[in-house]
Amino acid sequence: MKKILLFIKKNIWKATTFVLGGIVIILLTKTADTILPSNGPVIVKELTDTLKVIHNYDLLNLSDSDSLDLLLKKKRNQISQLNIYEKELNDYLDRVKNKENAFDVPNKILINSFQKFGKKGYVQSSSAAYFNSKGPKFVENNSLIDLKINFFSDELIDEILYIRLIIYKKRDGKYSEYFFDEIYEPRKGINLIRIGNNLSKGDYEFQYGFVLKKDKDNDYPQFYLDKHYYAII
């Protein structure tokens, strides 16, 4: 018995150390299981949760990208529309320019018009209610004379028999000498009367205007006219 007690006394510290070591190992194992569980699905679930968060973040990025794409498409469409509008505007300006150039073509002269419309004379009437004009203009280094007439209403054109330009030269203090007399076909828009400038030195009176169809058979039709005076030195 004494030998047993002596053995226990000698080895109690070792025994105690062994028991405590076992307890520590058990506690560490439990703790490790708690911190790092051995069941894989939990880890996968955590990884899945992390992937979900990342996936949600990517969706936000895609949404922003889609919004940016829509904005860019909208801007491209606007630019495309502006290009179309610019082309249409340029086409319109070209048409206007061509239309203006078309008025640079003189009115048609009515050949043999005096045989058809020749009368004994005419009655002078004011043209102020029907058209405006700045009078004859010397162009092409004074080699041509242009006269533009702008009627206030295109509807009046259908009622006009002809446009007439008469140029008188001053003689003995009066504008009594015929220098030029011609009849032209009226048209809608600007009417351009063009003649060569062969005016010699002297004073001239330009009479220009129109006669209505209703006065066709009158011996003295109403001549709605305007007058301008020029001195050639």
Residue 94 has pLDDT above 70, yes or no: no
- Range in 78-87, 95-104, 124-133, 216-225 with the lowest mean pLDDT: 95-104
Once rounded to an integer, what is the mean pLDDT over residues 177-192? 94
Mean pLDDT of 186-207: 95
- Return d(Cα 47, Cα 44) in angstroms, integer: 5
d(CA 150, CA 192): 9
Q: Say how far apart CA 211 and CA 145 lie, in whole Å.
A: 22
From residue 85, give the alpha-carbon distance in Å to each of 37, 74, 80.
70, 16, 9
Q: Which of 62-76, 78-92, 142-156 tops mean pLDDT?
A: 142-156
pTM of the model: 0.56
166 and 220 in contact (C-beta within 8 Å)?
no
Asked whether the predicted pLDDT for residue 116 surpasses 80, the reply is no
Q: What domains does the chain contain, in order, with CATH numbers?
A: 113-232 (2.60.40.1930)
Share of residues in the chain with pLDDT > 90 (%)? 45
Lowest mean pLDDT among 14-23, 33-42, 147-156, 186-195: 33-42
Give the residue-averaged pLDDT of 208-219.
93
Give the pLDDT of residue 9. 52
The residue-averaged pLDDT of 171-175 equals 94
Least confident of 73-87, 125-139, 157-171: 73-87
| pLDDT for 208 beyond 70 | yes
